[in-house]
Structure 1
Amino acid sequence: MIKALGVAMMAIFMAALSGCSGLQLLDSITPSSGYTRTADIAYGSDPRQRLDVYQPLQTAAGRPVVVFFYGGSWNSGARGQYRYVARALAKRGITVVVADYRLYPQVRYPAFLEDNAQAVGWTHQHIGEYGGNPQRLFLMGHSSGAYNASMLALDGRWLQAVGMRPADLRGWIGLAGPYDFLPIENPEVRPVFFFPDSPPDSQPINHVSADAAPVLLIAANSDSYVNPQRNTAGLAKRLRAEGVSVEERYYARVNHMTLVGAFAWPLAWMAPVTDEVVRFVMAPPGA
């Protein structure tokens, strides 16, 4: 019965993606219970520099923290559309931060990374006020949001600007991320990275080093947007060559969009993304 409902919801979700918004649909069916949300916190002066904090209902100090960056080809997205991701993790005892950031055409690379770093810097300074432990800080993102998370985790310039280092992270999680995508084929993404003069230092794979934090990389076997072999498997291979702890998970039932959709309860049967992320965050390698 549950699986049948999930199949039905998947069909509705996929239909919505071709029309208005599957993300809005998932948000509309996400219960408002199971967490406490503190919304619209400013981490900068721009209207897009806002974040929401989701706390588990059970009172406990020192909970692990996940800062989540959504995808949208650096052209679109809103933190309110990912309440279902935050709820899935908050219900399992994780404090979650979902941050907006400036998008194209307002900004281009690397301004959105500067925003992401500011959001992480705010989290590191203030999350103790919300029951989170800044020493148990993880980054997570989907699609272009996974790119953002990887750049902060691998390229020290961005966190250094807010008084942090990649070593301050306990780990990071990438969901269907583009980590090696030059030359750029997607016409929506080309102007974001100054195509055809896209800088090589914009690529996460070019910032791999032996001191990188542990990582959990998750992808769909079949992804028509981001090639999992070039991006996920390619980054994993490069990280392992440097001795970095890497875990890879590939799933057959999901695609680029339903991979993140599987955090929502009707689609959870498609891939155990919530279980894998919770396991990784609660006991990362080397903990």
Structure 2
Amino acid sequence: MKTQTRKRIGRDISIRSFCAERQQSFGREVRHAAAETYLITRLSFELLRYLGVGYRWITKFLALGCYAMLLMPGFLQVAYYYFFSSQVRRSIVYGDQPRNRLDLYFPIKNDGLKPVVIFITGGAWIIGYKAWGSLLGLQLAEKDFIVACVDYRNFPQGTISDMVKDASQGISFVLNNIAEYGGDLNRVYLMGQSAGAHIAACALVEKAAYASAERENSWSASQIKAYFGISGGYNLCTLVDHFHARGLYRSIFLSIMEGEESLRRFSPEIMVQDHGLNNGVGSLPPIILLHGSEDVSIPSDASKTFADALRKVGVKTELIIYDGKTHTDLFLQDPLRGGTDQLLKDICTCIRRSEGAASTNEEEVMLPRRRLVPEFMIQLARKISPF
């Protein structure tokens, strides 16, 4: 009887302890959500002050809202996975600055060390957020990868040097800690999309340029097995006027990039041509650039000229151009329509090939996925996409 009483008391104590821990955790989540809401509201008003009244960005903002509504059936399904799947660990803190958090996506099978993809999301340097990578995280986790989606400060909370610093710190955190989560340190890949491709490329090329410098808790370009740049822009000097015509006005773009004098410093294409990079260029991993031929947000020539610059300095480079694809086709519309996703197939094939995998693995990545959004809604969204 006494033994049963002790067990019951012990069980009651454990339950109370668990409940108290859950309440504390919930309290932290509420406080964090409140702080984030206040921060976003304040930054939104500050951003509006920069933008002023302009018909280009206002029409694109309205188009973005309609675009999101049309694709909402797919977004809701991905959001459910993001918030409720046991395979996702959200908001792991990697630094002491705001937005220094990352999400981890895990494969279902826990049968050995897994290859790792570090992903930097896009968002025109203004609206980037780690959850934008949840669809790609879901896809790659299904293919047996661990995916780390790294968040970073956006403008006006930070400028380009802050974004690159945050991304670099996030990459360092993953490299220093991913083994604890079952990641294989010999198979770590860096990936970015749109503005995220630019930020990731800046971080990678900067590390190669300063390969000889020893920095505490840092990382080296040689630790990255390959870099994948999706629909990125790598020479800012040639893109300023293009962005201005598209609604990202010259004044605000130069504010993001810390002035016209900094454009060369944050242009990976120019950085690799710099004589100061010659000693470190050998530490750059293979570079795979992927771009749609009908991309009007960042023309495919941005990837073509970057590929040429990399090849001239001896970096192993592969360029894949998708005929007829837009800026959002590769990253959103194609995955949401299901079937065989060509971008995912090419990424997985490049990775398996670099690892010397058998052809059966290449066939595996061709398995079709289920459709998340009806085709007519995808076609409408494609037509009104502001990107």
Structure 2 CA distance, aligned partners of 1:24 and 1:141?
23
Q: Do the aligned residues in 2 keep the contact of 1:142 with 1:177 (CA within 8 Å)?
A: yes
Q: Distance in 2 between matches of 1:37 and 1:87?
A: 9
| 1:12 equivalent in structure 2 | none
Q: Of 240, 253, 256, which aligns to 1:192?
A: 256
3-state SS of the aligned residue for 1:110?
Answer: helix
Secondary structure, counterpart of 1:48 in structure 2? coil
CA distance in 1, matches of 2:137, 2:63: 21
- State whether structure 2 residue 350 is matched by structure 1 residue 280: yes
Letter in 2 for 1:173: F
Aligned residue type for 2:353: A
Determine which of 270, 294, 299 is the counterpart of 1:222. 294
| SS of corresponding position for 1:264 | helix
Q: Deviations over 1:194-242 (max 9, x none)?
A: 333334111101232344210111000011111211x101111111122
Q: CA 1:262 to 1:272, structure 2 compared with 1: closer, same or farther past 3 Å?
A: farther
Greater mean deviation of Cα atoms: 240-249 or 193-202: 193-202
> What is the percent sequence identity of the aligned residues?
24
CA distance in 2, matches of 1:253, 1:268: 18
Distance in 1 (alpha carbons) for counterparts of 2:334 and 2:92:
24
Match of 2:94 in 1: 43
Match of 1:10 in 2: none
CA distance in 1, matches of 2:334, 2:100: 25
Determine if contact 1:35/1:54 at 8 Å carries over to the other structure: no
Give the 3-state SS of the residue equivalent to 2:262 in structure 1. Answer: coil
Could you report, residue by residue, the CA deviation over 1:52-97 in whole angstroms, capped at 9, with x for unpaired residues? 1001001122211101111111111222232111000010011100
For 2:158, the equivalent position in structure 1 comes to 107
User: The residue matched to 1:139 in structure 2 has which SS?
Assistant: strand
Indicate the residue corresponding to 1:174 in structure 2.
229
Answer yes or no: is 1:250 the counterpart of 2:321.
Answer: yes
Aligned length: 271
| Structure 1 residues without counterparts, runs of 5 or longer | 1-14
Structure 2 counterpart of 1:4: none
CA distance in 1, matches of 2:308, 2:109: 39
- Looking at secondary structure, tell me which structure has more strand per residue: 1
RMSD: 2.6
Distance 1:134 1:62 in 2: 9
| In structure 1, distance between residues paired with 2:109 and 2:169 | 28
Question: Residue 163 and residue 58 in structure 1: after superposition, are their counterparts in 2 closer, same or farther (change >3 A)?
Answer: same
Using a 3 Å threshold, how does the CA distance of structure 1 residues 76 and 203 change in structure 2: closer, same or farther? same
Q: What amino acid is the match of 1:174?
A: G
Match for 2:171: what amino acid? V
- The 4+ residue runs of structure 1 with deviation greater than 6 A are 157-160
Cα 1:74–1:176 shift into 2, 3 Å: same
Give the Å deviation of 1:44.
Answer: 1.0
Q: Where does 1:1-287 land on structure 2 (aligned, <5 Å)?
A: 17=64, 19=66, 21=68, 26-30=74-78, 32=81, 36-156=87-207, 161=215, 162-182=217-237, 184-185=240-241, 186=243, 187=249, 188-208=252-272, 209-229=281-301, 231-262=302-333, 264-266=335-337, 269=340, 272-284=342-354
Structure with higher RCO (Cα < 8 A, 6+ apart): 1
Amino acid at match of 1:190: L
CA distance in 1, matches of 2:104, 2:323: 32
Between the aligned partners of 1:122 and 1:263, the Cα distance in structure 2 is 31
**Structure 2 Cα separation of the partners of residues 268 and 110 of structure 1:** 39
Compute the TM-score of the two structures, normalised by the length of structure 1: 0.85
Compared CA separation, residues 228 and 92, structure 1 to 2 (3 A)? same
Instruction: Please tell me whether the aligned partners of residues 113 and 148 of structure 1 are also in contact (alpha carbons under 8 angstroms).
Output: yes
Aligned residue type for 1:225: S
Once residues 63 and 82 of structure 1 are traced to their aligned partners in structure 2, the CA distance between those partners, rounded to angstroms, is 19
